[in-house]
Amino acid sequence: MTNGWEATPYVELSREQWSGLRRNTPLTLTEDELKGLRGVDDPIDLAEVTDIYLPLTRLLNLHFTGGRQRGAAVSTFLGTGAGPAPYVLGIAGSVAVGKSTTARLLHTLLARWPEHPRVDLITTDSFLYPNAVLAARDITHRKGFPESYDRRALVRFVADVKAGRPEVTAPVYSHLEYDIVPGATQTVRRPDILIVEGLNVLQPAPPAALAVNDYFDFSIYVDAKVEHVRNWYLDRFHKLRRTAFEDPRSYFRHLAELSDHEATEFARNVWRDINERNLVENIAPTRGRADLVLHKGADHSVRRVGLRRI
């Protein structure tokens, strides 16, 4: 642990230093529950939950409690007596880095703390433009890039939740159908914590506008070397070929029938032309805006944690 007067705003902790900060936070998750939360091809185990995620929930619980006190001070000052605003947690990182597992785990673990039992999770794919709109704008090959999202609708959604609106609805994206599901919605009802997970949640706002991260109380960036994420993407792609892609409703149904070699070629091209480009041009440059960075090694486990102290 370093705590001198370096220019970096982060204090960097080794896995061992970080796991020691769990203190007496209890493990409230079973192996079976963890199985239901891990993503395709994510080898996360209970040791990772104990060493990485329990200290993280302890930190978030402390931060949540501090935020509530600050919120109460403002409403006492104003004499409004308004109830507490939902605490908003952003989770960013590349395609295939494992953000969804991090988000689902935090969703479950945070809800087991008595101070914040109501936790909701939204992924920003809900705010992708439908494929028909992407095609009309000639940006089909840019899915996941900032311009492929209805950013105003996303900001409005989070602003409404933060403002305490009783019911806020969002569209639903299906990975299976690779598109927004027509007419489907999900509703968030005044949670204690809202988790907002997505590739671009740390993107700065355009001039004179607000970004979704202006509403974040805390943000996490899930980080790994590009070559590791590429391998995870390719491995997952092959696993999906033998599972989700065989579903007759899958947009990628035809890929289940390609040879291994042809499928690898296809996945390599999608990775290189879309996901890696988006990572390098748009996502990785936002890492330094996160309050906490989880640095993963080649085997997916978190090796180091950077925590912003200023």
Ligand X SMILES: Nc1ncnc2c1ncn2[C@@H]1O[C@H](COP(=O)(O)OP(=O)(O)O)[C@@H](O)[C@H]1O
Ligand Y SMILES: CC(C)(COP(=O)(O)O)[C@@H](O)C(=O)NCCC(=O)O
For binding to ligand Y (CB under 6 A), which residues are involved? 95, 123-125, 143-144, 198-199, 270, 274-275
Cβ proximity to ligand Y: between 2 and 185 the closer is: 185
**What are all long-range contacts of 231-234, with beta carbons under 8 Å and residues at least 24 apart?**
231/298, 232/41, 232/96, 232/97, 232/98, 232/300, 233/95, 233/96, 233/267, 233/271, 233/275, 234/264, 234/267, 234/268, 234/271
Cβ proximity to ligand Y: between 18 and 173 the closer is: 173
> Under a CB-based contact definition with an 8 Å cutoff, are residues 222 and 98 in contact?
yes
Cβ proximity to ligand Y: between 61 and 282 the closer is: 282
Integer-rounded Cα radius of gyration of the chain: 20
Instruction: Note whether 274 binds ligand X by CB under 6 A.
Output: no
Give the residue, chosen from 12, 17, 21, 40, that forms a contact with ligand X under the rule CB under 6 A: 40
List the interface residues with ligand X, window 181-200 (CB under 6 A).
none
CA within 13 Å, CB half, 100: 13
99 is in an annotated binding site: yes
Q: Using alpha carbons, list the distances in angstroms from residue 139 to 94, 142, 148, 249.
A: 19, 5, 7, 23
How far apart are alpha carbons 153 and 160 in whole angstroms? 10
Q: Which stretch binds ligand X (CB under 6 A): 11-19, 94-102, 184-192, 286-294?
A: 94-102
Nearest distance in Å: CB 26, ligand X: 26
Nearest distance in Å: CB 2, ligand Y: 32
Cβ proximity to ligand Y: between 112 and 141 the closer is: 141
Cβ proximity to ligand X: between 99 and 289 the closer is: 99
| 3-class secondary structure, 14 | strand
174 is in an annotated binding site: no
Residue 279, both tokens: 């990572």
**Largest Cα–Cα separation, the chain:** 68
239 is in an annotated binding site: no
Cβ proximity to ligand X: between 38 and 116 the closer is: 38
| 3-class secondary structure, 308 | strand
Nearest distance in Å: CB 252, ligand X: 6
How far apart are alpha carbons 191 and 85 in whole angstroms? 9
How far apart are alpha carbons 46 and 109 in whole angstroms? 12
How far apart are alpha carbons 117 and 115 in whole angstroms? 6
How far apart are alpha carbons 126 and 174 in whole angstroms? 9
Closest among 237, 218, 180, 292 to 40, alpha carbons compared: 237
Instruction: Note whether 284 binds ligand X by CB under 6 A.
Output: no
Cβ proximity to ligand X: between 39 and 71 the closer is: 39
Q: Which stretch binds ligand X (CB under 6 A): 23-31, 91-99, 203-211, 260-268?
A: 91-99
Give the residue, chosen from 110, 128, 188, 240, that forms a contact with ligand X under the rule CB under 6 A: 240
Query: CB atoms < 10 A from the CB of 1, how many?
Result: 11
Q: What mask, x for binding ligand X by CB under 6 A, covers residues 140 to 179?
A: -----------------------------------xx---
Q: Which does 202 bind (CB under 5 to 8 A by kind): ligand Y, ligand X, none?
A: none
Nearest distance in Å: CB 191, ligand X: 21
94 is in an annotated binding site: yes
User: Which residues carry a binding-site annotation?
Assistant: 93-100
**Where on the chain is the footprint of ligand X (CB under 6 A)?**
39-40, 93, 95-100, 175-176, 240, 244, 252
User: Which residues carry a binding-site annotation for ATP?
Assistant: 93-100
